[in-house]
Chains A and B, each alone.
Chain A
């Protein structure tokens, strides 16, 4: 699953470690999400959405265009 985490983090000038602290996860977890090696759980995805103040679907993209209109 693609995501904009790296861009959103860069826009706030946060390091991976800073973002990890804000999410209360390890830096490796942030890195794994950013590089697409790991898809976060739903609670962690909601945490990210609250932190960046945007809907989950604006951060993550499962590649299915218009699936929310089905």
Chain B
């Protein structure tokens, strides 16, 4: 097949930067998630709970998240091409719309005692899931 020839050519500098950006973001996420999960009790996916954390761990996690994400996103944005940048921007917009629709709705329902208190991490996870789905669809469809 024409499309599958030369699959083992060396990676271009752009592809190396791309892989480095994605890889670094994954490492930051996996390390944070693993350490957080290990430090919690109760079994299951307690990483998604709101259980208290030690101040030292919380400070370290916050710094690692911010620095790791800024560095990996800077590398990623230097490496993406037009097509993926467009997918990224539409995915980001879809995630933002998800947040702007869900957060105020949940908040007003809570104020009328029709829903539990809004959970910032659930809102974040929902927006992130929409972001990922739209990005994958636009990039690989």
A28 interface hit (Cβ, 8 Å) = yes
**A:1-39 near B, CB below 8 Å:** 10, 13-18, 21, 24-29, 32-33, 37-38
CB distance from A18 to the nearest CB of B (A): 6
* Size range of the chain A interface in the assembly: 20 to 34
Tell me if B's interface is mostly helix, strand, loop or mixed.
helix
Which residue of the partner chain, among A17, A32, A41, contacts B5 with CB atoms under 8 Å?
A17
A15 to B4, CA, bound (A): 7
A28 to B82, CA, bound (A): 11
CB distance from B78 to the nearest CB of A (A): 12
With A21-B12, A28-B139 already in contact, the answer to whether A44 and B6 are too (CB < 8 A) is no
B7 interface hit (Cβ, 8 Å) = yes
Measured between beta carbons, the chain A residues less than 8 angstroms from B119 are none
